[in-house]
Amino acid sequence: MARLQDGEREEREHKVWQVLKRLFFGARESDVADELGWGRRTVNNYLRDLEEDDRAYKEGRSWFAKKK
């Protein structure tokens, strides 16, 4: 796995969360990956981190941003 600079992981996680917030009706991993130009596996890792932080949730195959 490539090393990220300080704060880069949080910045990338925030980008994924921003995409989820904008896509009100949810997004599949592949939708987010295509939008950001990243691999699905990478996006999946960030989505799972967001889920652990209680900022996103999965319903079926779609991911949604939690409202704060």
- Residue ranges of domains in the chain, CATH in brackets: 8-65 (1.10.10.10)
Alpha-helical (H) ranges within the chain are 8-22, 29-36, 40-52
pLDDT at 2: 63
Averaged confidence pLDDT in the chain: 91
Question: Is the confidence at residue 63, as pLDDT, over 60?
Answer: yes
Question: Is the confidence at residue 43, as pLDDT, over 80?
Answer: yes
Q: Which residues contact 35 (CB under 8 A, 6 or more apart)?
A: 19, 27
pLDDT at 40: 95
Question: Is the confidence at residue 19, as pLDDT, over 70?
Answer: yes
